[in-house]
Amino acid sequence: MNPQPSNGMPYDVDAVRADFPILHQEHHTGVPLIYLDNAASSQKPNQVIDTLDDYYRRYNANVHRGIHKLSEAATFAYEEARIKVKKFINAPSKREIIYTRGTTEGINLVAQTWARANLSEGDVVVSTQMEHHSNIVPWQMLAAEKGVHIRYVPVLPDGTLDLNAYAQILREEPVKLVTVMYVSNVLGTVNPVAQMARQAHDAGALILVDGAQAVPHMPVDVQALDCDFFVFSGHKMIGPTGIGVLYGRRDLLEAMPPWMGGGDMISRVRLEGSTWNELPYKFEAGTPAIAEAIGLGAAVDYLSALGMENIHAHEQAMTVYALDRLAEVPGITLYGPDAEKKGAVATFSMQGIHAHDVAQLLDGQGIAVRAGHHCAQPLHDVLGIPASARASFYLYNTFTEIDALIEGLYKAKTAFTL
Ligand code: PLP
């Protein structure tokens, strides 16, 4: 189908599923695929796959440099996708939309440009105990180089951030940057980033928001959040791999030095030195991920047509149902806040069965979940467990699939108690 604007119509999950060819295959002979690993990466609809195919078949060429028709068509589509992304997150201008390879690259870009240029010994970066490694390690690397200190906001037993501790750090330390995830990929916690941004600004600090688990699942407005930097990945929002976005406030981006040097990011190169291109190209050195950017535009079209509020409501209903049903299974421990307060993630452990075994036994039943530390080892240290299992839901998942997950867990339990 082509998803229609919401119009208050009921969410038609069957019509959505019809667009995703991978969902219609057998995972093993006679066993259908139930894909519940969406927080790691999402599946792609025909509309995105066809967009990539069309680019390579009809107008594959480099962007911003050819005078010929193919290059003009590629450039047009590449820049049109940027405008779609700008509208999707309500950025003020397309110049503030920098294409990256993903969330990880976006955070590293800010660490290596803005932070390197503006932070010095003794300055403080505030992160949290629940961050993905991509929002911890780049700051540790910077800290080692520049003598910057990192403070981590603790996670409370209910899976939310200790906002009193956050306020105290801002009051007492020379904080220059707060860097926090919008939605936790493990706990599902939706952090109050608009409030955290206000507090950071009142303390004279900037805020970077990791939106990797937010943009695919709920409406996001970077102006309403009043964040200074915002990063996310295309592959988690039904778009291609290898493409992501850094939104940055224009005055900051203008003042920042470039990161990678090469073609397209320059205005003039002389052997004695070079000058930089205007935004956003100053940060897009070399041939970019052209097909992937255009594919991201198609993903944005698809999600927008379906309506992010509708997708969010569908996921919330599924999360409430999944957590209720999971709580019925004997020996299960659930992590994170109540369903109403969290994203579409159900992370759990099962007494007496290692998370990897849970995932393997589910895989045998056609159910794909993630097991491990989910790139959040410090959070698992806080939870006191080496690993957990995670089912994560998206726009095409169904209540029947959740029932299958529960049945699968009962089977796993039986297998381990035999
Ligand atoms: N931040 C969060 C919250 C994530 O869930 C992920 C991916 O799992 C990342 C960052 C890293 O994203 P990528 O690997 O696309 O750069």
Domain extent listing, the chain = 13-32+307-417, 50-304
Nearest Cα to Cα of residue 377 among 139, 185, 164 = 185
Smallest CA separation from ligand 1 atom 6, residue: 212
Site to probe by mutation for ligand 1, drawn from 37, 128, 134, 236 as the one with most ligand atoms within 8 Å of Cβ, is 134
Distance 132 CA to ligand 1 centre (A): 7
- The residue assigned the tokens 């003020």 is 92
Question: Is 89 a residue whose pLDDT tops 60?
Answer: yes
Nearest Cα to Cα of residue 151 among 376, 219, 167, 23 = 167
Measured from the Cβ of residue 90, the count of other Cβ atoms closer than 10 Å reads 14
**pLDDT score for 29:** 87
Name the active-site residue from 73, 375, 382, 385. Answer: 375
Distance 134 CA to ligand 1 centre (A): 7
**Could you give the 3-state DSSP secondary structure of residue 31?**
strand
Give tens-digit pLDDT for 330-376. Answer: 999 999 999 888 999 999 999 999 999 999 999 999 999 999 999 99
Average pLDDT for residues 201-226, to the nearest whole number?
Answer: 98
What pairing do the DSSP bridges indicate for beta strands 388-392 and 370-372?
A: antiparallel
Smallest CA separation from ligand 1 atom 4, residue: 212
Pocket of ligand 1 (CB under 6 A): 39, 102-104, 132, 134, 181, 185, 210, 212-213, 233, 375
CA distance 347 to 369: 10
What pairing do the DSSP bridges indicate for beta strands 124-128 and 149-153?
A: parallel
Distance 115 CA to ligand 1 centre (A): 20
Smallest CA separation from ligand 1 atom 8, residue: 40
CA distance 96 to 250: 6
Distance 212 CA to ligand 1 centre (A): 6
Q: Kindly report the average pLDDT of the chain as a whole number.
A: 96
Nearest Cα to Cα of residue 247 among 271, 224, 266, 227 = 227
Distance 318 CA to ligand 1 centre (A): 22
Task: Output phi, psi for 66, to 5 deg.
Answer: -80, 150
Confidence of residue 391 (pLDDT cuts 50, 70, 90): very high
Give tens-digit pLDDT for 166-192. Answer: 999 999 999 999 999 999 999 999 999
What is the DSSP track for 320-365? HHHHHHHHHSTTEEEESS-GGGB-SEEEEEETTB-HHHHHHHHHTT
What is the DSSP track for 98-114? EEESSHHHHHHHHIIII
Site to probe by mutation for ligand 1, drawn from 132, 180, 243, 345 as the one with most ligand atoms within 8 Å of Cβ, is 132
Q: Which atom of ligand 1 is nearest to the CA of 103?
A: 16
**What fold is seen in the domain 13-32+307-417?**
Aspartate Aminotransferase, domain 1 (3.90.1150)
CA distance 390 to 363: 13
Output DSSP code: residue 92: S
Measured from the Cβ of residue 210, the count of other Cβ atoms closer than 10 Å reads 29
User: Is 375 considered catalytic here?
Assistant: yes
Smallest CA separation from ligand 1 atom 7, residue: 40
Q: Return all residues near 385 (Cβ < 8 A) that are at least 6 apart.
A: 349
Tokens describing residue 162 = 């200790």
Smallest CA separation from ligand 1 atom 5, residue: 185
**pLDDT score for 10:** 81
Q: Which atom of ligand 1 is nearest to the CA of 104?
A: 16
**pLDDT score for 417:** 76
Distance 118 CA to ligand 1 centre (A): 25
Nearest Cα to Cα of residue 402 among 341, 355, 339 = 339
CA distance 129 to 153: 6
**pLDDT score for 65:** 78
Right CATH for 50-304 from 3.30.420.10, 3.40.50.460, 3.90.1150.10, 3.40.640.10: 3.40.640.10
**pLDDT score for 418:** 62
Give tens-digit pLDDT for 279-325. Answer: 999 999 999 999 999 999 999 999 999 999 999 999 999 999 999 99
Question: Is 73 a residue whose pLDDT tops 50?
Answer: yes
Question: Is 266 a residue whose pLDDT tops 80?
Answer: yes
Task: Output phi, psi for 304, to 5 deg.
Answer: -65, -40
